[in-house]
């Protein structure tokens, strides 16, 4: 009996010691895991305006960057915001499917593609913020991947708005050019962002922001047009429609997010004070995440309540063709990113950056 108790205590003691080692394992070992460094310790490419500390050093092994998920640095909040939103999207979709509200058929294809596009942009963003500090080539590569995610999400939104949200009057006017236009502008956003990233080095000129924001802004204006039309033309009785409110909310969240994406606020006014928590890009992530979650809820309602509109308007073959164009856009954007990566690799080899 005493031996059994002693064995039990010994096992518990070993388990406790293993548990105590867990944080060190997650950090890759105290000796291997360097502390974060200041902006002057990393190449200029990695320095963000008004962010002075919390940078991860370059040229560590990949494990260091993966495990930095559990460490405090100036990208932690950027990673965790989109990680939590991705988790929320997955859980919400699973609940929707389990409630028997979503089946697998032609009517639901655009909704599945929308969910796929959301998870794609969130995953690409998580990877970019988590792994970009590894090297200059990794920085460019993961941001090019991030831009593929953005164009994918833009087109996923366009498809879902087109199929589930649009009114008859909007559809009659825009049905011929909307999806080709959305696909083209989605791809152009990817091209604009890759080109801006390839061409300019820090300190970035205004032209870089213009190349990033203008194609993406045009894509957003087109993609959101079915939603705007629905909100503007809705009658008094439509205000009981929860989807209209949620769509309004997704637009408000997006516009606030776009402001924080474009301006380095509040860190501009408090340099060095927002390094870990509170800088503009983190606020942008939070609002973009809220935009996605309210958009998802709105689309769930539209999908459930407007299926007869869908069935009357679109043939199965047409829908399948539109869904195929989603994958074509991903392919075009991926080729663009691969090409941009090749060019930047050559440029880095020539030490032009």
Residues flagged as binding site for Zn(2+) = 129, 281, 285
Contact in structure between 82 and 289 (CB atoms under 8 Å): yes
Residues flagged as binding site = 129, 281, 285
């Amino acid at each position: 009996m005493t031996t059994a108790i002693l064995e039990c205590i010994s096992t518990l003691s070993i388990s406790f010691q293993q548990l105590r080692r867990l944080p060190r394992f997650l950090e890759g070992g105290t000796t291997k895991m360097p502390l974060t460094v200041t902006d002057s310790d990393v190449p200029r490419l990695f320095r963000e305006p008004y962010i002075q500390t919390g940078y991860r050093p370059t040229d560590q092994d990949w494990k260091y960057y993966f495990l930095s998920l559990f460490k405090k640095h100036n990208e932690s909040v950027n990673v965790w915001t989109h990680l939590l939103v991705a988790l929320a999207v997955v859980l919400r979709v699973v609940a929707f499917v389990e409630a028997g509200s979503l089946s697998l058929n032609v009517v639901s294809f655009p909704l599945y593609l929308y969910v796929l596009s959301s998870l794609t942009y969130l995953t690409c963003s998580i990877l970019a913020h988590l792994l970009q500090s590894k090297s200059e080539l990794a920085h460019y590569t993961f941001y090019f991947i991030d831009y593929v995610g953005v164009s994918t999400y833009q087109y996923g939104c366009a498809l879902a708005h087109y199929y589930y949200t649009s009114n008859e009057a909007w559809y009659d006017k825009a049905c011929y050019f909307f999806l080709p236009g959305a696909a083209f502008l989605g791809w152009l956003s990817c091209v604009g962002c890759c080109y801006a990233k390839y061409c300019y080095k820090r300190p970035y000129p205004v032209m870089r922001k213009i190349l990033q924001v203008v194609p993406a802004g045009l894509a957003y204006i087109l993609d959101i047009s079915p939603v705007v039309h629905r909100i503007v033309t809705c009658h008094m009785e439509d205000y009981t429609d929860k989807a209209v409110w949620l769509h309004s909310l997704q637009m408000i969240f997006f516009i606030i997010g776009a402001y924080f994406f474009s301006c380095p606020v509040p860190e501009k006014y408090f340099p060095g004070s927002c390094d870990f928590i509170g800088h503009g890009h983190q606020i942008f992530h939070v609002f973009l995440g809220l935009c996605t979650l309210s958009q998802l809820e709105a689309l769930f309602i539209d999908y459930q309540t407007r299926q007869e509109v869908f069935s009357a308007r679109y043939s199965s073959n047409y829908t399948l063709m539109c869904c195929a164009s989603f994958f074509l856009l991903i392919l075009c954007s991926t080729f663009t990113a691969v090409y941009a990566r090749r060019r930047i690799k050559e440029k880095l080899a020539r030490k032009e950056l």
